[in-house]
């Protein structure tokens, strides 16, 4: 599976009862993404921007994607950067949804 394959997929509803990926599964999925790391059980990436307007445009577009996927990241927003963190709270760790949304986030950043 490639990042493009991931970005074309849809998140599945997760109301609990879905086991999180093992460390090995998460590392295998991480290999499909560029620039993402796993920190404290979360999928994390820092996106750089030229100015505040570009940062906020990205954040607002990501909010729309998150709404459509019904899977929402934690964001830390600064003047020219946005840190994105994904994890599936209902599963208590990382699931396919996190990697799908990370790939969509990368696709959005390239626009």
The answer to whether residue 100 is domain-embedded is yes
Report whether pLDDT(6) > 80: no
The answer to whether residue 59 is domain-embedded is yes
Burial class (CB in 10 A: 0-12, 13-18, 19+), 27: exposed
The answer to whether residue 29 is domain-embedded is no
Rounded Cα distance between 97 and 49, Å, is 25
Rounded Cα distance between 7 and 5, Å, is 6
Instruction: Note down the domain range covering 57.
Output: 36-85+96-106
pTM confidence score: 0.88
Per-residue pLDDT tens for 34-52?
A: 999 999 999 999 999 999 9
pLDDT class for 5, splitting at 50, 70, 90? confident
What backbone phi and psi angles, to 5 degrees, belong to 76?
-120, 115
């Amino acid at each position: 599976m490639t990042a493009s394959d991931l970005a074309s997929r849809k998140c599945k509803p997760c109301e609990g009862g879905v086991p999180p990926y093992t460390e090995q599964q998460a590392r295998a999925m991480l290999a499909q993404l560029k620039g993402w790391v796993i920190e404290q059980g979360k999928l994390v990436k820092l996106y750089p921007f030229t100015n505040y307007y570009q940062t906020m445009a990205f954040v607002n577009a990501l909010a729309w994607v998150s709404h459509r996927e019904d899977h929402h990241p934690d964001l830390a927003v600064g003047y020219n950067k946005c840190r994105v963190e994904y994890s599936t709270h209902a599963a208590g760790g990382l699931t396919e949804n996190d990697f799908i949304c990370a790939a969509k986030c990368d696709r959005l950043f390239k626009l």
